[in-house]
Chain A
Amino acid sequence: MGWTRPFELVGRGFLRVLDEAGELLLLLVQTALWLIRPPFRFRVLFKQMEFVGVKSINVVILTGAFTGGVFALQSYHGFSLFGAESLVGSTVALALTRELGPVLTSLMVTGRAGSAMAAELGTMRVTEQIDALYVMAVNPVQYLVLPRIVASIFMLPLLTIIADFVGIVGGYVVGVGLLGINSGIFIAKIVEYVEFSDISMGLIKASFFGLIMALVGCYKGFYTTGGAAGVGRSTTQAVVLASVMILGFDYVLTAIMF
């Protein structure tokens, strides 16, 4: 009997992953169906946009600025080995718009807003507030999940634009201000090498990551069981799963788009 054990474990793990993927997909389909059915709750949507978007601006600015600065510093050390300091600006800009802007923004916002979604919906679940919605003939997927997902899909690209811009400014400050790269060249190389598609593809990735973050956060919260401890578990799981999925899908999307 003993030799089948590892297979069982792997099999069971695999089934759990499939199970979870299926449920996530189901929630996504339900949400999509509600997208086209009234009532449309603009007030709830705007509140979520404010929560996901406006309230994340500070953390995104901070992340963007330091990332851009550090990246300029690192690439300057590399490029100066063969006298290519002039490429620091475009390297920073390409890395930010294509990769670091969307990914880091999404990860930071997942930590802030995705976790809060799981915690809020989880608390509503264990205190029967979700049941109360059902009782009052209001569908909780439509009332709670849909606005969070739509808001995230819209707001993450906007936050990413901020991160891209602030990051490049951060790179400029370090590259031009501290390391003495010529300002004109720094900017000229950015204009020369960064294409519109670099930016737009990055933004498309960001809205996809927004979808992942909100879907996972809502899913984990919505199916919470087990009181306060359960809410804590859902919140942690939401952040971990969403982050892993963002990184995984980042690879897939990059491979497809660029």
Chain B
Amino acid sequence: MDDYIIQLIDVHKSFGAQRVLRGLNLNIPRGRTTVIIGGSGSGKSVMLKHMIGLIRPDQGQVLVDGQNLTVMNDRQLNQVRTRFGMLFQDAALFDSMNVLDNVSFPLSEHTKKPAAEIHQVVAEKLRLVGLPGVEAKMPNELSGGMRKRVGLARAIALEPEIILFDEPTTGLDPLMSDAINRLIMGTQAELGVTSVVISHDIEGAYKIAHNVAMLYQGRIIAQGSPDQIQANPDEVVQQFIHGRAEGPIEVI
């Protein structure tokens, strides 16, 4: 049962005087969907970037399949990164390239597929995220939600083993959110992908997660199946998942 693909062990990270992660421990089970919840600004995106070596911890270890990312050189890191896909919170599309070039970028970088085949894959992925036929558009011609979905298409283009999603459904309408949640569940079920999803959508999280973890004050304070999280007696957890302004978490 203890098959963890990513492990964060006692991770500390500060920006100047601001201590964002303070001894964080988290294990991501292989082939499952883990949803990270936590307040805005609590360090979820920072934590996610540690998992792919974009940010190095001040202290602690980040293991992917037991290999420590924090001591790797560029070449070794690249090797590990080819196993990942990532959707950034603000999509991070290349704004000098159209949608086709954006989504095909990882394909043309890391496969030897001929152009026609790549175009087919791109069309297929765009259809999956509900954006068929937008290949020729530039990122600045898309709405925020559309950009996010193009980012999603790019993240899954190579069918990676591990996908990190930073708020995949934020900014989408309820129907589209549901469709994206289904997509995440679908890729997990079909391809056995490991997904790590940051989400503010608690209901959606219950639906897609095998495992929910809550980040608070730089640590994971609760982790477990959706049922376990809902039954968690911790007041902080209860306040957060029920979205109450009063309680131990100071909101304003």
Contact = CB atoms under 8 A, between A and B. Distances in A.
A132 B81 contact: no
Given A127-B90, A128-B90, A136 B81 contact: yes
A135 interface: yes
A97 B90 CA distance: 49
A129 interface: yes
A138 interface: yes
A152 B101 CA distance: 25
Interface in B77-115: 78-79, 81-82, 84-86, 88, 90, 92-96, 105-106, 109-110
A135 B78 contact: no
A137 B110 contact: yes
Contact of B78 (A124, A132, A139): A139
Given A135-B86, A136-B109, A138-B109, A128 B78 contact: no
A134 interface: yes
B81 A134 contact: yes
A131 interface: yes
Contact of B95 (A127, A136, A138): A127
B235 interface: no
Contact of B54 (A123, A127, A131): A131
Contacts of B85: 135
B90 A135 contact: no
Nearest to B52: A135
A124 B97 CA distance: 12
Interface in A120-154: 120, 123-124, 127-129, 131-132, 134-139
A163 B82 CA distance: 47
A210 to B, nearest CB: 22
Contacts of A137: 78-79, 81-82, 109-110
B119 interface: no
Interface residues of A, number: 14
Interface of A: 120, 123-124, 127-129, 131-132, 134-139
B74 interface: yes
A226 to B, nearest CB: 13
B164 to A, nearest CB: 8
A134 B109 contact: no
Contacts of A120: 96
Interface string B40-54: 000000000100111
Contacts of B53: 134
Contacts of B52: 135
Q: Which 3 A-B pairs have the closest CB atoms?
A: A128-B92, A132-B92, A137-B78
A120 B95 CA distance: 10
Contacts of B96: 120
B95 A129 contact: yes
B92 A139 contact: no
A98 to B, nearest CB: 38
B234 to A, nearest CB: 33
A46 B79 CA distance: 28
Nearest to A135: B86
A128 B92 CA distance: 5
Contacts of A124: 94
A218 B175 CA distance: 43
A138 B107 CA distance: 12
A127 B96 CA distance: 13
A135 B84 contact: yes
A242 B90 CA distance: 32
Interface string B179-214: 000000000000000000000000000000000000
B144 to A, nearest CB: 13
Nearest to A136: B106
A3 B86 CA distance: 55
Contacts of A129: 92-95
A134 B106 CA distance: 11
A127 B85 CA distance: 18
Contacts of A131: 49, 54, 88, 92
A129 B54 CA distance: 12
Nearest to B82: A137
Greatest chain B CB density within 10 A among A120, A131, A139 is at A131
